[in-house]
């Protein structure tokens, strides 16, 4: 039943990939301007908050949010490609898709069960990571760099790996939310709402994998 109901998530995934490829090509050709990207970032944040606080309009906002997110991902991927390697983006995409499929298998076969305790632990870990991101962001605004977080050394690799593991576990929570929504007879628009949540987790996972691969490449140089 879950596999049938995550169809909307796969539709969004296709939109995400298409928008990412388009943006990637535009960035590599130099036709995507920074002011445009800044505008897209602002609109993306607005749409994301609208989806979060007004789930009823998720069927309309979900595709819009996904396309905007895809444009940003493509731009970020182009930056990493230019700075590190032509293969870095493809490597991150393949790893992300592989983890997604692996988590889906683990969930559908019930090898890993999402219990209340499991959800609580993963949620706390996720909140901890978000707080870390926020602190690093604030310190960055103040012109202060946090040692070991983004320097690409061994500690950075370990931290990034832990974040990837937590993001992967968050996929299980997304699957569980979708399935619980089905079983409880939630409104149809909640399928789009849950699909957006899954996309957010995938984007987070991809960006962290991209960062980890860049750390590994940097250490090899």
Torsion angle defined by CA atoms of residues 45, 46, 48 and 49, in that order, rounded to the nearest 10 degrees? 120
Per-residue model confidence (pLDDT) at position 148: 64
- Stretch 180-209: mean pLDDT: 88
Above 90 in pLDDT, residue 188? no
Distance of CA 38 to the CA centre of its chain: 19
Torsion angle defined by CA atoms of residues 60, 64, 65 and 66, in that order, rounded to the nearest 10 degrees? 110
Above 90 in pLDDT, residue 137? no
Above 70 in pLDDT, residue 1? no
- Stretch 100-108: mean pLDDT: 94
Above 70 in pLDDT, residue 151? no
What pTM did the predictor assign?
0.90
Encoding tokens for residue 17? 């990939």
Domain range summary for the chain, segments of one domain joined by +: 2-220
- Stretch 76-86: mean pLDDT: 91
For the chain, the farthest-separated pair of C-alpha atoms sits apart, in whole angstroms, at 54
Predicted confidence band of residue 34 (pLDDT cuts 50, 70, 90): confident
- Choose between 34 and 48: higher pLDDT: 48
Above 90 in pLDDT, residue 62? yes
Above 90 in pLDDT, residue 20? yes
Per-residue model confidence (pLDDT) at position 60: 93
Of 84-88, 149-153, 180-184, give the range with the top mean pLDDT: 84-88
Distance of CA 75 to the CA centre of its chain: 15
Q: Give the span between the Cα atoms of 131 and 39, in whole angstroms.
A: 25
Above 80 in pLDDT, residue 124? yes
Q: Tell me 30's DSSP state.
A: T
């Amino acid at each position: 039943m879950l596999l049938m109901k995550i169809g909307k998530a796969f539709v969004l995934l296709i939109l995400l990939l298409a928008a990412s490829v388009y943006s990637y090509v535009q960035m590599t050709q130099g036709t995507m301007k920074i002011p445009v990207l800044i505008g897209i970032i602002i609109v993306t944040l607005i749409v994301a908050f609208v989806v979060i606080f007004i789930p009823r309009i998720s069927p309309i906002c979900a595709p819009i949010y996904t396309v905007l997110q895809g444009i940003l991902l493509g731009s970020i991927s182009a930056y990493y490609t230019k700075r590190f390697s032509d293969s870095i983006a493809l490597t991150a995409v393949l790893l992300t898709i592989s983890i997604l499929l692996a988590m889906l298998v683990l969930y559908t076969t019930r090898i890993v069960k999402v219990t209340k305790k499991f959800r609580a632990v993963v949620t706390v870990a996720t909140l901890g990571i978000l707080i870390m991101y926020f602190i690093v962001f604030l310190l960055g605004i103040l012109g202060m760099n946090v040692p070991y977080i983004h320097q690409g050394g061994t500690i950075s690799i370990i931290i990034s790996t832990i974040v990837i593991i937590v993001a992967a576990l968050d996929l299980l929570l997304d699957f569980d939310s979708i399935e619980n929504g089905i079983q409880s007879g939630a409104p149809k628009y909640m399928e789009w709402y849950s699909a957006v949540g899954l996309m957010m987790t995938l984007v987070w996972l991809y960006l962290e994998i991209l960062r980890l691969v860049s750390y590994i490449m940097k250490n090899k140089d």
